[in-house]
A and B are shown apart, each in its own frame.
Chain A
Amino acid sequence: MTVETEPKPPSIVEQSDGEGPTIRLMSSQLELDEAEGIAPAGGDQRVQMEFADDEIVFELDELSCFYGSFRAVRDISLQIPRNKISAIIGPSGCGKSTLLRSFNRMNDLVDTAHITGTIRYHGVDLYADGVDPVEVRRRIGMVFQKPNPFPKSIYDNVAFGPKVAGFKGDMDELVERSLRRAALWDDVKDKLRQPGTALSGGQQQRLCIARAIAVEPDVILMDEPCSSLDPIATLKIEELMRELKENYTIVIVTHNMQQAARVSDVTAFLTMGEDRAGYLVEMAPTQDLFTRPAHRLTEDYITGRFG
C-alpha cells in the first residue's frame, strides 16, 4: 500500500466507484494489471478522478469523437477541475487534440466530425440543440500548436475578439491588460502597430494567449502550445500558465511529459487501442501519475518503454 506523502488539495475528492480500484490503491492496481497482463478493455478498470460538483468545469461522459466513420476517441469519461491546469498526455495520434477540440466545439469546423456521449460545461451539455458554438468559443478560448497570430498589428490581434464580442469599453486599456497578463506588454508596448507576425515564436505564442484572454474566457484550451518553441520560450509560457490558473481553468494537451509534470495539477493519460481510437487509461493528480502510475500502460509510457 502506498502512503500519501502530502495532503491533496481539498478540492480533489478521490472516490472509489465501488468495485474499481481507487487512486489510493495504486500498488494493488498494478499487481492486478501485471497479473492479467492486458490492457483494460472497458471503462471499469480505469482509475478516475472525481471532484466536488462546484469544482467541475467539464464533465465528459462516454465521449467518442468521430471523423466520418473513423472513431478517433473512444468512450472517455473524465472531469476537469476549476482553476487548475489539467494535462492530457499520450502518444502521437491517440486523439488528444481531437478530444481537446471537442471541448469548445472546434471540431464543428470539420465537416465529417461528430461526437457521441456528452460533454457538460458547468452542467450544460455543449452539444445540445440550441447551444451556440460561437458563444461556446467565447467562453472557452484556445491556443494552438503553432503560433497563429493574424497577419495584422499586435493591437488588432488582441482587439479582434473583444470587438466581435461587442466590447464597448476602453479598448486600449483592455489590450494593455491582456498583453500584461500574457507577460508580453513590456516587449511590445512601443510597437503595438507593428505586425504580430514579426514577433519571435515565443512572443507570437504569448500574443495568441493575450488574444485568447482578451475576450475574458472562463477556460483556456492549449493544444501543444510549446511544441514549436525553444526551451526558454517554453519556460516562459509555462510560468505564464501557472499565473493564469488563478483566474482561468486551463487544459493543456502535450506530448512532452516533462512539461505535463512541471505545470499541471492533474494529468490524464490517453493511449491508442487496436482500433486506433484513443481511450483514457488513467487520470490522477500529476505527481501521483508520474511517481506511482496505477496502470501498466501509464508506467510504460512515462518511463519511455512505450512501444
Chain B
Amino acid sequence: MAGTTLTATDAVERRLRGGTTDWRSWLLEGALLLSLLIALGILLVLLADIVATAAPVFLERPSDFMTSPLSARPEGAGIVQGLVGSLLITLIVSLVALPIGIGAAIYLEEYARDTAINRFIRTNIRNLAGVPAIVYGLLGLAVFVTVLGMGRILLAGGLTLAVLVLPIVVITTSEALAAVPGSIREAAFGVGATRWETIRSHVIPYAAPGIFTGTILSLARAFGETAPLLLVGAIAGTFSSSGGPIEQVTSRYTTLPTIIFHWAGYPQDEFRALGAAAIAVLLAVILVVNGAAIFLRNRYDRKW
C-alpha cells in the first residue's frame, strides 16, 4: 500500500488544488455582468439615437439654437427661454428648498427627541419623497396658482418644484448627518461646546460632502422635472420673454423639459431633431451639475 500513502504535503496540496470548478458562482457572476451590460447598452442606444437625431441642428446652427426663442417655424426655433426658465426655477428651488430642507433635517437629527410623533414625521417624509410628481403639480396648482393667487407664473412653478424636492433634501441631509460618528459629537460636548457649536463646527462640516451630493442631485431632479410644471403653467407656445429678473419670475415661462415634451408631439420631422437637440442640452446641463456635486464632495473630503 506504500504507493497510495500520501505525505502530509501531498495531502494538503491535493486539498488546495483539487477544488472543482464552482459553476454556480461563475453563472451568478455572468448574470450580474449581463445585467450591467443591458443597462449600459440601453442607455448607450438612447444616447446614440438622440445625438444622431440632434446632429443636424448642432451642425447647422449651434449658437442660433441656443439663443433663439420659441417659434412655430422649426428653422428659427430655439431654447433660450427654456434654458432661462429652467435655470431660474432651479435657482428658486435652491433658495427655498435647501435652507428649509437642511434646517428640517438638522432639527430632526440633532435636536428632536426620539418620540413616536417624530418617528411618524420621519416615516411620512420618506413617503412624501415617493409621491408621484404630478401630485405635487396639483398641489402647486391649488396652493400657489389659485389660493395664493399667483397665477401661472414662474415663481409658482419654482415653489411647486421646491415642495417636490423638499423631502429628498430632508432625507439625504438626515442620512448624511446620521452618518457622522457619535464620538465627534461627544468630543465637542466634552470640551464644553453647546449643541449649536458642536453642530456648526463639527457635525455639519463632517456631513457636508453628503449634504452637497444629496442636495445637488435634488436640484438636478428639479431641473429635469416636467409633469408638475405642465399643471402650474409652463407653456410651449410662442411668447415674448423680456425684462429683468423680477419680470421674468412673475411672468409666463417655459422650461427645457417642457419644450422637449411639446416638440416631441409636433408632427414635423424638424421638431424631432430640435427635441433631440434640447434633450442633449438638458443631459449636458445635468451632467455638469452632477459633476459639480462630485467635485464639491471630493474637495470637502480632501480638506481633512
Asked whether B26 is an interface residue with its Cβ less than 8 Å from the other chain, the reply is no
Residues of A within 8 A of B185 (CB): 109
Chosen A-B contacts, 10 in total, with CB atoms closer than 8 Å, are A106-B186, A134-B192, A139-B192, A141-B192, A150-B187, A151-B206, A160-B193, A164-B201, A212-B190, A215-B191
Contacts A109-B186, A148-B184, A150-B184 given; does A197 touch B304 at CB 8 Å: yes
6 nearest A-B residue pairs (beta carbon): A138-B192, A161-B191, A148-B183, A142-B190, A151-B304, A137-B192
Chain B nearest CB from A152 CB (Å) reads 7
* Cβ contact of A160, chosen from B181, B194, B201, cutoff 8 A: B201
Complex: chain B residue closest to A133, CB-CB: B189
Judge whether B192 and A211 touch: CB under 8 Å: no
What bracket does the count of chain B residues touching chain A fall in?
20 to 34
* Cβ contact of A141, chosen from B114, B181, B190, B197, cutoff 8 A: B190
Tally of A interface residues using CB under 8 Å:
29
Judge whether B184 and A214 touch: CB under 8 Å: no
* Cβ contact of A134, chosen from B114, B183, B194, B304, cutoff 8 A: B194
**Could you tell me the distance between the alpha carbons of A138 and B184 in the complex, rounded to whole angstroms?**
16
Judge whether A106 and B190 touch: CB under 8 Å: yes
Asked whether A278 is an interface residue with its Cβ less than 8 Å from the other chain, the reply is no
**Could you tell me the distance between the alpha carbons of A137 and B185 in the complex, rounded to whole angstroms?**
13
Judge whether A164 and B190 touch: CB under 8 Å: no
Residues of B within 8 A of A150 (CB): 184, 187-188, 202
Contacts A109-B186, A151-B206, A151-B304 given; does A141 touch B191 at CB 8 Å: yes
User: How does the 8 Å CB contact mask read for A215-240 relative to B, with 1 for contact and 0 for none?
Assistant: 10000000000000000000000000
Judge whether B191 and A214 touch: CB under 8 Å: yes
Residues of A within 8 A of B183 (CB): 144, 146, 148
Judge whether B206 and A138 touch: CB under 8 Å: no
Judge whether A144 and B304 touch: CB under 8 Å: no
Residues of A within 8 A of B184 (CB): 148, 150-151
Chain A nearest CB from B5 CB (Å) reads 48
* Cβ contact of A109, chosen from B114, B189, B191, B197, cutoff 8 A: B189
What's the count of A-B pairs with C-beta under 8 Å?
Answer: 68
Chain B nearest CB from A47 CB (Å) reads 32
Chain B nearest CB from A98 CB (Å) reads 14
**Could you tell me the distance between the alpha carbons of A51 and B185 in the complex, rounded to whole angstroms?**
35
- Interface positions, chain B 197-232, Cβ under 8 Å from A, are 197, 201-202, 206
**Could you tell me the distance between the alpha carbons of A299 and B253 in the complex, rounded to whole angstroms?**
83
Judge whether A161 and B193 touch: CB under 8 Å: yes
* Cβ contact of A149, chosen from B186, B187, B197, cutoff 8 A: B187
- Interface positions, chain B 228-262, Cβ under 8 Å from A, are none
Asked whether B61 is an interface residue with its Cβ less than 8 Å from the other chain, the reply is no
Residues of B within 8 A of A144 (CB): 183, 186-187, 190
Contacts A151-B206, A152-B304 given; does A211 touch B191 at CB 8 Å: yes
- Interface positions, chain A 128-148, Cβ under 8 Å from B, are 134-135, 137-139, 141-142, 144, 146, 148
**Could you tell me the distance between the alpha carbons of A146 and B206 in the complex, rounded to whole angstroms?**
18
Asked whether B299 is an interface residue with its Cβ less than 8 Å from the other chain, the reply is no
Asked whether B113 is an interface residue with its Cβ less than 8 Å from the other chain, the reply is yes
Contacts A146-B183, A151-B206 given; does A160 touch B304 at CB 8 Å: no
User: How does the 8 Å CB contact mask read for A94-105 relative to B, with 1 for contact and 0 for none?
Assistant: 000000000010
Chain B nearest CB from A114 CB (Å) reads 13
* Cβ contact of B191, chosen from A135, A160, A197, cutoff 8 A: A160
* Cβ contact of B194, chosen from A141, A164, A195, A215, cutoff 8 A: A164
Complex: chain A residue closest to B183, CB-CB: A148
